[in-house]
Amino acid sequence: MAHSFLGELYVMGKNFTLAIEAYQKVLALNPDDEIAQTRLKQTIEKVTEVSPKEAQKKANAEVKKDEKKAAAKISTATVTIAELYMQQGHFEKAVEVFQELLAEDPQNLLLRQKLSEAMETHQKQRSLENSVVDKLKKDEFVRPPDLKEDKIEEILGVSNESSIKATALDDSKFTSEDILQVMQFSQSEVPLEEETKTEPAEIKKQLVEKKHLEPLTNVVQQVGSSGITLAAEPDSKKQRSMQESLAKLQSVEGIVSCVFFNPNGDFLMTTGMTIERNFFQSIFHILTNSQHAEEQLNHGLIRQVILKSEQGQIFLMKVAQYNLMVLANEKINIGRLRVVLETTLNRLASAE
C-alpha cells in the first residue's frame, strides 16, 4: 500500500522511473494487484510519451554543444597566429586576424599598432612586387646571374623573349627563393620615398574607415608623411620643436604613440596612433594624483612617472610646461628612449 501511494506521488512529481520501481515493488509483493498493474502500465505509457520530448531536448543540447565547439574552432584568431602569419610572409592573413581581434577589443592600442605594422608590411610587399614586375617588363631589371630566364617568366606569368636576355636554361622549377632573389635584387632600385610618402596617411585612413582608430575631435591638421596629428597649427618655434621631437621619438623601436598634452589635460599633438581624449585624461589623473602625493610628502615636483605593465610601458614626463606621454610595447629599447628623450628635453629647453 505504501509503495502504491509512493508510486502515485512519484507520478505526480513526474518522476516516472521511481514511480515504475515503486509499482514494481507492489507487484512483487502482490502480483495480482490490478490497480498497481494499471498504474504501472499508465506510467510506462507516460514515460514513452515524455521520452521523445526529452530526446529532442537532449538532441538540441547536443547541437548547441557542437555549435559552440564549431564556433570555438572557427574563432582561432589570436595574436600568436597573426604573428606566425607575419613571420611566414602571409601579411594579408595577418591583417585579417588582427582586424578580427580588434573587432573584439577595439580599444587595444597594441593590436592597432600590430595591425598597422601588418598593413604597412603588406603594402610594402605589394609595391615591391609591382615594381619588380614593372622593371622586368621595362627591361630595367638587373637579373641575378644564377636566376634562369624561364623561372622569371614563370614568376611573372609572361613570356616576353625580347625583354629578357637569355642565359643557360634548365628544366628545374622555380622556388620561393628565386622570387625572393628577384625581390632582393630589385629592392635597392625601388625609390624608398615613393613607398613611404603616402603610406601612413593611407593606413590611418583605412583604420579610421574600419573604426579601429577614432579620430580626435579637436584635430585641425594632420601632417602628411610624418604621421603627426596636431590640435592646432604650430604657432611658435617651440611647438615646431615639439613636433620635431615627436617625430624623433617615433623612430625608437617599440614606441606605439607619443602625445603632448597641456597641464590642464588638453591634447596638443600626437604621433603614431591618435589616442582618444578620455584615454589620456586617465593618464593626466595619474600625473595630478602623483603630484598631490609628492606635495604631501614634500618630495618636490614630479619629473617622471613610469608604469610598467605585462605588455608594455607608459612613460609620463614634464617637458617644460607640457606633459609628454610615451606609450611603448614590450619591444621598447629603454636605453635608446632615454637618449632620445634627453635630446628632446634639451631641444625644447633651448626653444623656450
Partner 1 sequence: MDFKKILHEILEPLDGALGAGLIGMDGIVIDQISNQASLDMNVVGAEYSSIIKNAQKASSDFGLGMTSEILIATDKTVIIMMLVAKNYFVTLALQNESNLGRGRLELKRAIPKFEKDLS
Q: Do the beta carbons of residue 100 and residue 123 sit within 8 Å? A: no
For the chain, the distance separating the N- and C-terminal CA atoms, rounded to the nearest angstrom, is: 103
CA dihedral 281, 284, 290, 291 (to 10 degrees): -130
Closest contact distance (angstroms) between CB of 111 and partner 1 is 6
Q: Which residues bind partner 1 (CB under 8 A)?
A: 105, 107-111, 279, 282-283, 285-286, 289-290, 292-294, 296-314, 327
Q: Can you tell me the distance from the alpha carbon of 199 to that of 255, in angstroms, rounded to the nearest whole number?
A: 18
Using the minimum distance from each CB to partner 1, give the nearer residue, 109 or 348. Answer: 109
Contact 143, 189 (CB under 8 A): no
C-alpha cell recorded at residue 81: 597566429
Least separation, in Å, of the C-beta of 84 and partner 1? Answer: 20
Nearer CB in complex with partner 1: 185/279:
279
To the nearest whole angstrom, how small is the minimum distance from the Cβ of residue 338 to partner 1?
12
> 4 or 229: whose CB is closer to partner 1?
229
Nearer to partner 1, 236 or 282 (CB): 282
User: In the complex, what is the shortest distance from the CB of residue 208 to partner 1, in angstroms, rounded to a whole number?
Assistant: 18
The residue (of 173 and 303) whose beta carbon lies closer to partner 1 is 303
Q: What whole-number distance in Å separates Cα of residue 262 and Cα of residue 269?
A: 10
Looking at the Cβ atoms of 29 and 306, the one nearer to partner 1 is 306
Other C-beta atoms lying within 10 Å of the C-beta of residue 97: 24
CB atoms within 10 A of CB 343: 13
Give the dihedral sign, CA 160/164/167/169.
negative
Q: How far is the CB of 297 from partner 1 (least distance, A)?
A: 6
